[in-house]
Chain A
């Protein structure tokens, strides 16, 4: 398969199109503007596709909601402050059990923060993000090629489980150019039929898609039904990468861009004879708690490395309990640490 050199934001857009996405609505925000730009040009050539530059992030996510009601594969993208605005729609879609893909190319925060790459939205993404106690599947790619596979997988997961799926990248993932190859595009007509869509009540009873449920007993039932769905996802969809773990005494846990840096650091300290390895969660929710817990029993210590002040570390600590000491190294604010810096932290812990 031919490889082409592409920017991360473009890769997401192309992969989404090849996954059969035919509706995109978004609002400009740095550092993800290349994604809607690519989409606007790509969809112009597809007669069955709609691109809308919306008047706001709120409008965009709600347009995606409407598109999803018709059964079309739909997505939006944004960066941190814009994702906060989209939480209203994401909560509604969780309640209505509507599929959608939302890409968050994270930047510095809180507030307007800056436009540099960070991982400061981990809590927001993995805890639902909006009101009402729901979950979204959260996928964290760490390379151009993984942007292809995880973007396409995001649409499958969204349809399978009828829920929003978050693709959590950062400014570096979105801007970096890497060689990638794409699978053949999926024809939306070949996707499994959705039996719940709004299509006009022809030859059937009229249909309703709504999150409102005024009866507390029925609302409680629906809440537990969602939890059962989330349990199923936790059992079947957890994904992670292991790197040099067989003989590792220290395991660094990192995701996305931080994991790339961590991998460099692991290679570096291995060169000095220090047995370190990398555990990289690919699904941030569901978090790969069980494999990490099993791993913790055979190692001496864990180092959590994030481009924030410490968010995933809470999931790591919940996973391993007292089995293994958990250290932390974080660089928030858009500072991109080097493998040398992280290697020094590892060395300090192991010596």
Chain B
């Protein structure tokens, strides 16, 4: 009798993803659903999706979800979590959402130590709107608004917001991972799981930045795009733990 060793997580709805071939978003959706299943928190989780390609994340994740304006997901999540600290609240945001239009909300939530789990998907472009330059776009990278490539002196430098957030006193756990190979995907899942646990233990602000490919807007095949993340993007945004101030909960310091 064959035993099934890999199946669809229960917290993932049966809908077919609307994402392009090779898109990292749907891998991350699946990992989130797996973590929610494994932690047994589906019935007390609330998600806040972003504007952008993942705006329809609620078509896939079978948990309560509430929309936020572009960039404001963490502010909305703050309102939810402060009113219902017993819920597990996460945001799901792209680089434009979190590191451009939502920079203020992100920095201040981290600084206040809001007890939230933030999933930050960095693919270096605005995907939904057609591949414009993002704050994370690499120097020289061609986008639809940097047709000759991003020039730092004209268009700004790539912004490593996660590193800035690690400086905020209220942030507890920040890790950068990728979803470009099975090895990295396993690491990403572990990081997401930890970011949820940090919140569930009431420790504070946890964020996982996930380097992800956007083959369509990069005009590469999915395999080329994944290679590019590992060989090029990850040199600008090195993978690994940027901050881990977590502690084992004790009676004195829960």
Contact = CB atoms under 8 A, between A and B. Distances in A.
Direct contact of A and B (CB under 8 A): yes
Interface stretch (A170-178, A200-208, A290-298): A200-208
**At the interface, is chain A mostly helix, strand, loop or mixed?**
mixed
B69 to A, nearest CB: 5
Contacts of A22: 83
A192 B130 CA distance: 45
Contacts of B108: 54-55, 59
Contacts of A55: 104-105, 107-108
Contacts, number: 133
Nearest to A200: B44
B68 A62 contact: yes
Contacts of B56: 212
Contacts of A212: 55-56, 67
A88 B63 CA distance: 26
A198 B47 CA distance: 10
Interface in B69-85: 69, 72, 75-84
B63 A69 contact: no
A89 B72 CA distance: 9
B44 A62 contact: no
Interface residues of A, number: 39
A108 B87 CA distance: 42
A202 B67 contact: no
A66 B80 CA distance: 5
B83 A58 contact: no
Contacts of B72: 58-59, 62, 65, 88-89
A198 to B, nearest CB: 4
Interface in A187-206: 198-203, 206
Contact of B76 (A50, A52, A66, A203): A66
Interface in B104-158: 104-105, 107-108
B69 A69 contact: no
A54 B67 contact: no
B17 interface: no
B46 A200 contact: yes
B43 A200 contact: yes
A224 to B, nearest CB: 21
Contacts of A199: 46, 64, 84, 87
B82 A67 contact: yes
Contacts of B80: 66-67, 69-70, 198
Contact of A74 (B45, B66, B79): B79
Contact of B75 (A66, A70, A209): A66
A29 B104 CA distance: 18
B230 interface: no
Interface in A149-196: none
Contact of B64 (A52, A56, A92, A198): A198
A69 B87 contact: no
A198 B82 contact: no
A206 B63 CA distance: 5
A60 B65 CA distance: 20
Contacts of B209: none
A63 interface: yes
A88 B78 CA distance: 17
B79 A209 contact: no
B116 to A, nearest CB: 11
Q: Which of A55, A67, A69, A199 has the most CB of B within 10 A?
A: A69
Contacts of B79: 23, 25, 62-70, 74
Q: Which of B43, B44, B56, B77 has the most CB of A within 10 A?
A: B43
A27 to B, nearest CB: 11
A114 to B, nearest CB: 26
Contact of A92 (B44, B55, B69): B69
Interface in A38-73: 50, 52, 54-56, 58-60, 62-70, 72
Interface string A202-246: 110011111110000000000000000000000000000000000
Contacts of B46: 69, 198-200
Contacts of A345: none
A345 B227 CA distance: 78
Contacts of B84: 70, 199
Contacts of A96: 66-67
A74 B84 CA distance: 13
14 contacts: A50-B82, A50-B83, A56-B105, A58-B72, A59-B75, A62-B72, A63-B78, A63-B79, A66-B48, A66-B80, A66-B81, A92-B69, A198-B65, A206-B61
Given A66-B68, A67-B83, A199-B84, 13 more contacts: A25-B79, A58-B105, A63-B75, A63-B79, A65-B72, A67-B79, A68-B79, A69-B66, A206-B63, A208-B66, A210-B65, A210-B66, A211-B67
The 8 closest A-B pairs by CB, nearest first: A66-B79, A62-B75, A210-B67, A200-B44, A67-B79, A66-B76, A55-B108, A202-B43
Interface of A: 22-23, 25, 50, 52, 54-56, 58-60, 62-70, 72, 74, 88-89, 92, 96, 198-203, 206-212
